[in-house]
Each structure stands twice: as C-alpha cells, then as structure tokens.
Structure 1
C-alpha cells in the first residue's frame, strides 16, 4: 500500500517543479513596498524636542540649607563648603558624586574661607584670606591639594579685595581692589593661569561716587564687564564694557541693566538682562544690540554656550533651550516648584544643578512659615 502511494505522488511532485521552473522564465512582476525608517522618525521627533528630563536627583538637605554650593568639579560631581559661614571662619570642602547621596571631604585640602571660588573647569579653587594687615589670594588644586599664592594686597591704606571671578575658560582670574582712602585708585587685577603672573590696571573712568559690584573677565583676558551703581545714572545699575589699554581699563560701552547675571558668548559678544526683563546680546564689532529672549528673571549658559537654562518672571518654572546664533530654540520646561537662586550646568552640558526656595503652597500663609531651600540636579537626555 505504501509503495503504491509513493508511485502516485512522485509524478505529481515532478510536474509541480517543472511548472514552477517554467514560471521563472516569464516576465517578472515588480511591486514597490515602502518601509518606514524607524531611526529617521525617531531622529525627527527628537529634533523637535531635543530636551527631555531623564532623571531628577535631590541633593541631601544639608547641601541645600547648610552648605555653600560652588559648582561642578566634573560631569558627575558637585563641590560645596561647610562651616565657612563668614570670611573669617574656615570650613571643609566636600565632593558629592553620582548618585548624589553621600558626600566626602576632599582629601589633601585644608580648611577654606567662605570666599572660595571654583574654576569653571572644576580643577582649582581661588581662596581669598583677609587679615588685619593684608589680603591673600591663593590658588589650590583639587587634584593634589597643591597651593600657590597669586597675590598679597596690603590693607593698611584701606584697600579691599572684592568680586573675585574666573573667565569662562578658566584661564584668567579677575579681582577688584577698592581704595577707600583714594577713590581714584580703584584697580582691576587680572591673573594669567598660563604665565602665572598678575597685572594691575587702573579704572580711570570710575567716579568716586560709583559703587563697583562685579567684574567678569573675557576668555582672552583683555576685556571685562563691570557692574556698578553709576553716579551719572542716578545710582542705577550699569553694565560697562572695558578693554585693556596699556595700564588702564578704558570703557567702550555702557548701558543700564536690570539683573545680576551677565555672560560672555565669545571675546566680542556678551549677554545681559535689560531693565525691561529682556535678554540682550551686544556685539561690539558692529555695535549691534539684539533681544534674544523676553520676560527673563535669570539665566545660565552651558559651558559650550549651546544651551541655556532660564527662569521667567512670575513663574516657578525652569526652562532649557538651544542657542543658535541669536536664536533661542526648542524651549522646554524641565522643573516646576522652586525659584532658583543659583543654576550650574555640568561640564558635559547634559545636567543642570538648581538651588532655590521651595514654592509655598496655600497652607503656608503664616508669617512664621519660612520655606526651606532645595537643591536638585536635572539630568537631560
């Protein structure tokens, strides 16, 4: 029975194979099938919303309410000092690393004063140590704890060191020296990290009635943005662009401003807040002034100047956006609930550290209610 079935089936199979082979010799039929490129679709969707919150880390309460945040020392480590409540009292320097739960004292670093400024690249701190007769500025490496004195200013003639700041590329340190005995002798000092030398420049255009507030050095060490209460402007806050000329700082541009934050975009362009809460960019090469964002309360650019974090008036919301020339694009809210008093981008431009007051809820109406601070890290995709 099985052999008989075998003999019947075999001719059928052979016939089917011959039929299929003959079909291959006929004219082929074509059909177009469109397959969506999932990678391209994902890329297009992501370009329309480049910022997405990946994770939020809340820093320990002591970092928000006890410590003094200095900034980032790497892409995943934050630096703060503890116990240095006044410039005459010293404290410890601690590092908080991912996942930002427990900090450790930085080895090899002694006690520091409250006037300690971290370099933008996270490698050094500049410490200001005053005494009854002089003020010392010292550079300390966070890698090995090595110290170098960069200047010593006598205070016997009522000179005071104020407003120490780093250039954005960590190549220069600027500091103002005000002389109370002779108002015409206010000076700006610029320390060059490369040559390890400090140069003194006279602020000839400063009046004795002016009150200096801050100094921000450009990356080339040849220009400075000075904030002051100007006597000629009725003691209103003014931003002055100054340039090194010989042994002096000559003013090239002045404008009344409304906020505290200023930032160099490059050696010729800088950004500041106007009295109308608009964010302005000024280009000294052609004298062009442009509005790049409106209703801004405060702002902070990422180290590569390609991103911005900012807050808006009357909102407890922090936004991030892309910077392309004079355009601010893809504005995204990333956190609600606090009013940041400090914002720090990490070194790889991917995370923002915020510190500020928690938002009061409706139940907190008594005068004794004082909202605590909060520090958190917004990690972006």
Structure 2
C-alpha cells in the first residue's frame, strides 16, 4: 500500500506540473500586462498636457466692436471703456463679469478719456488728461474711485506725454515726455507706486530724427526697453535696452526688430520678435541671445511668465505653450478663426482674452466690406 500511495502522489505532482507548463505556453496572459502598462503611460501623457480648452465665452457684440477693451480687473472680470473715442472726449468704464453676458458701469468712477491704461493687477487705471496748457496724469482706484495725481506736465513749450505703460508687477509707471522745441531733450519719467514719487531721466542715445514708439519697464524700475525708428538706420525699427544711471537712461544693447510686442521675463531677461519672425530671448547678464520660437506673428506671456499665448504667420490659430527655461513645450492650438490683435491673460494664468478680426467669409467679396471684430475668453484646464 505504501508504494502504491507514493506512486499515486508522484503521478498527481507530475500531472500538475505538466498542466501548469502547458497553460503558460498556450495562454499569453503576460501580453495583457504589457498593454496595460502602455495604456497607463499614454494616459499619464494626456493628463500631463497642461492645456485643454474647458470653455469658450464670446463677449457681447458691443464689447467686441464698440468698446475699448482694457484687460482683466480680476480672474473673472474684464474692463472696457465706451464713448471715449479721443483723448478729448470722455466715456464710461464698464465691467463684464462671469458668465460674460451683460456689462455694468463701474460705480464711483467718473468719465475717462481714451488714453486710459489698466494696471496688470486690475486694481488701478492711469488716465492721461491733456489741455491747452498742461497734461495731467492721475491714478484712479477701481475699488473705491479714489484719485491720486501722478504728475502735471506743462505743454506751453510744446511738450507731449506719450506711451504711458505699467511694469508687469504694477509697481511702476513709465511715460515719455517729448519736447518738440529742443531736439534730443526727450525724457523718461518713472513713477514709483510704493513711494508715490516720480523721477525724471534724460535719454542718452536718442539723436535728431529718431522716433520713439513705446516704453516697457522692468519690474525693478531700473531697466527699460524702448522701441524707436532709427534715423541713421534708414528708419528701421530697433529695440534698445536702457539702464538707470544717475539722472540718465544709458543705452546698453540695441537690435533691429520685426514686431511690436516685447516682454520682460524677469529683471535681466526679455523677449522680442526679430526681423526673421523668430522669438528671441536676451539675457543682459551675459549677453546671450537665444531663439525660443519661430515664425511668430504675436505673443503674450501670462503674469507668472510660465505660459505663453501666440499666433504664427499664415494661420488663423491661437496657440498656448508652457515656458520651461528657453523652451516652449506642448504648443496646443486653442482657437481657430480670428487673427488676434490683442491677447490678455487673466491674473490667475488660466484664461486668455482674445480680440481680433474674424476670418474673412468666402461670401464677403465687396472691397468695401471689412471683417467684424470678435472678443472671446478661452478658459483652460
């Protein structure tokens, strides 16, 4: 009996081993594990893509075609002026909040001119009010309507205030004062929101025949980018980097450019469009110039400088990308059908306000026809 029992056990063990081996050979279960791993990677890639369009809101027609959009006053509200067609004719300010259907006049704010600039943080507007004797610059709080005068420039000697702009952190306001009597006496004024004082600087490097076009201050108020048409370069458009030095702005870098948009990434690095339509970044610490995108028509960085919205030549498409060092990643198309002339990121870095012309309709054949404007908000997730 003992031998028969041992023999029976051995047969059972051998049979089980054979069955297990045949099962491993005939049924490739391991393949499903590999496929599952592959799917997990794909899903991870999808979820890691930072830009997906969650919602698109079209602004009312009057905001697109009859108002002057100024930008965002908060994460879910935009500001526009109505009726201020010139700097001598005043209009009203309206706020359009989520779900962006009906604007309301901002209470406590008086009539404003067309030369009204909204701060990047949406808390203030800077208004320029000219008269026959002087030009006044003042700050108006959008929260309580309180006003503060920044400066009062006499216009008796044919001086003109131009190109008022904010630094990206809303800490400084820059404005040019052009003197038509004394050539080369153009000055840059920088107003400090913290100290509530304005400082005047002479521009060293502007010569007779040069035409100033814009001002863009760094967040520290010590560096400035000036766009101008250089007389000695056949009126080509150039971008110059100026640094505060005593009571002067000393130019330290200059390059011909092809577009209007420039942006500071930080106090040392800035981005601009070259004549070849490439998007360049320049680092003033080491003089390094890098290409970060090609064939760019226009661009706008988010307030935190981590995202970019841009358009390219020959396409009615707006893209967004993620900034990583000197690289733009993902480059996702988020809207087709208009050529934006203005792009505004909201303070939360999650929505982009676009304003531009609709793509021409094939039925629009009359030379007198012109495409209408469209304004829309793209909410990203």
The answer to whether the superposition gives a TM-score over 0.5 is: yes
Deviation at 1:183, TM superposition (A): 1.3
State yes or no: 1:207 paired with 2:204: no
Task: Tell me what 2:11 maps to.
Answer: none
* Aligned-residue CA RMSD (Å): 1.8
State yes or no: 1:358 paired with 2:358: yes
Task: Tell me what 1:104 maps to.
Answer: 104
Task: Tell me what 2:312 maps to.
Answer: 312
Against the structure 1 CA distance between its residues 73 and 39, is the aligned structure 2 distance closer, same or farther, given a 3 Å change threshold?
Answer: farther
* CA distance in structure 2 between the aligned counterparts of 1:350 and 1:123, rounded to whole angstroms: 19
Q: How does 1:341-352 map to 2 (within 5 A)?
A: 341-352=341-352
* CA distance in structure 2 between the aligned counterparts of 1:51 and 1:161, rounded to whole angstroms: 41
User: What SS does structure 2 have at the residue aligned with 1:184?
Assistant: coil
Q: Kindly report structure 1 stretches of 4+ aligned residues shifted beyond 3 Å.
A: 32-44
User: What SS does structure 2 have at the residue aligned with 1:45?
Assistant: helix
Task: Tell me what 2:226 maps to.
Answer: 226
Deviation at 1:44, TM superposition (A): 3.5
Task: Tell me what 2:287 maps to.
Answer: 287
* CA distance in structure 1 between the aligned counterparts of 2:207 and 2:154, rounded to whole angstroms: 23
Task: Tell me what 1:138 maps to.
Answer: 138
Task: Tell me what 2:46 maps to.
Answer: 45
* CA distance in structure 1 between the aligned counterparts of 2:237 and 2:280, rounded to whole angstroms: 16
Task: Tell me what 1:126 maps to.
Answer: 126
What 5-or-longer segments of structure 1 have no aligned partner? 1-31
Q: How does 1:253-332 map to 2 (within 5 A)?
A: 253-332=253-332
Deviation at 1:220, TM superposition (A): 0.2
What 5-or-longer segments of structure 2 have no aligned partner? 1-29
248-257 or 32-41: bigger deviation: 32-41
TM-score when scaled to structure 1? 0.89
Against the structure 1 CA distance between its residues 40 and 141, is the aligned structure 2 distance closer, same or farther, given a 3 Å change threshold?
Answer: farther
* CA distance in structure 2 between the aligned counterparts of 1:330 and 1:41, rounded to whole angstroms: 15
* CA distance in structure 2 between the aligned counterparts of 1:45 and 1:184, rounded to whole angstroms: 56
User: What SS does structure 1 have at the residue aligned with 2:175?
Assistant: strand
* CA distance in structure 2 between the aligned counterparts of 1:118 and 1:68, rounded to whole angstroms: 11
* CA distance in structure 2 between the aligned counterparts of 1:219 and 1:77, rounded to whole angstroms: 24
Task: Tell me what 1:25 maps to.
Answer: none
Give CA-to-partner distance per residue, 1:318-343, whole Å, 9 cap, x none.
Answer: 00000001000000100000000000
State yes or no: 1:156 paired with 2:156: yes
* CA distance in structure 2 between the aligned counterparts of 1:150 and 1:64, rounded to whole angstroms: 31
* CA distance in structure 1 between the aligned counterparts of 2:71 and 2:87, rounded to whole angstroms: 19
* CA distance in structure 1 between the aligned counterparts of 2:41 and 2:345, rounded to whole angstroms: 29
Give CA-to-partner distance per residue, 1:52-86, whole Å, 9 cap, x none.
Answer: 10010000000010000000000000000000000
Give CA-to-partner distance per residue, 1:156-215, whole Å, 9 cap, x none.
Answer: 000000000000000000000000000121000000000000000001210021000001
Task: Tell me what 2:16 maps to.
Answer: none
